[in-house]
A and B are shown apart, each in its own frame.
Chain A
């Protein structure tokens, strides 16, 4: 080891810090190198792919409620859910018949197979035919199954119903003063009324939208929070769910809109006739884009949150050393706290924008 002038100039303390820094850097660097070598050895069935598949699987809805599973031993812990199919008649059976996609379920002489979270109609052997893009071409029966997400929604709905019913009851019993959990819920209800509904819709008309705004806020918020639990549900990060919610907002906005709103869309007042013609299609497009943005925003935020959080948790298993592990854990912890904030924020934004759209639909003419 050769010494140069630079190292001599460095004080003892400085030397120590530099050494420490180098040590950490090398360890982290080596760890990733180590992993790289390992993955090369393992080939296709490596940890990275497993984690990726796990995350993908988590993001999707499933036909059974799996709490955790051991992929190698092929054992799953959880409970099956009812499958309801419409295929020339209603067919109801337990999802345990699929054995997590390993076997073909036979119902009244028809055969069904669970493949990548979707149910396909197959022959007795469970053959799946593919097209050139590796997409299954088998017939898909209409699937009305009570899936994991449906169960979660029902659970949250029940919880909300009992929570708010008890709040309503506590007013009657207690001389209009909430008790217990109501003390926490009442300020939120008031927040939605005073800071979302009234400023956006207006003092006169906010009342008829209050039920919707309150329901959607707590529904999204509680489902977002449920997504943070280790139960591993991802309801609000599902496009069908956000589409349904956005569709309801779209319908309410346009069905309760007044003349002034439609006037502003099809024949914008106060601009030259030529501009009126140009603006009409743009405004009409806006009618659809508004709820569409609601749908994408909620879906993307929740999905992204889940992906990032799970990826960072997955990194613990990738690093497999005493620095990367705690580091990933700390990061995951910080991100979880951030996600808790996002859960409330997205519910707030969805409610806020819905109220804004309702307010636009109810705006009185002002000239």
Chain B
């Protein structure tokens, strides 16, 4: 039998630079260290002067090919709180409008010798490409339906802060799993820390072969400690795709309402929410909703990620040991 593929047939990997491209690249130790660092930064933000000199003289470029409020603002603020210089480039109003390729845009920005490039892009693998063609440390701020690793980290941080532990918890992820990079990163992150996951949603929006329990029965969310509601991504629903007959029917069958929850069940959502579609107003605004806590966590977790890729504590893409040897 031949041994398959990627190791045999690919050129030997270059010595790894430290990036954060996918949760799949992280170890449990990486996650613990990052959450610990985030907690330290959270304490520092309670002081009167919130700026730390830690990354003074470093340049963080935020390269955003998709609209974003939370992710782009929190990365920018995270860099500023650590005293790094920041440069934000959005695809609209830049040379991307003139048809410049991602490779050329990355080379152009790479010419300023940025220490970190944070990239959000609608296509899977865009952060890899930037990591290949520049010398910067690359942080994936969301690539297509693939990964959104800092979201998974901030969600783990939020759960740990609120419930006090991670291991042994049960989370139900509800909604459009198929099109969700958040769900993919969460699944891997949850598996890493020993959280059990159940995926709940309409049949065509649950990928067939993801390594998790899946069910189409919304009642299943009652068993969970945390109900994680995904955005119903209208913008990804091509006309005529018929994943669900209508949003109205979706809401009737899978919308998260107070009636479908147990008292005390925590509710999370990565935002932006479609109130009245996947999540009821009363749920979103209830004391058990962790949604604004998630936003606050985003800042300190992204500070921790920037700190980690740029200082000795590697975020451990692939092999932090190898990086240290090199």
Answer yes or no: are A and B bound together in one complex.
Answer: no
What is the interface of chain B, defined by CB distance below 8 A to chain A?
A: none
What is the interface of chain A, defined by CB distance below 8 A to chain B?
A: none
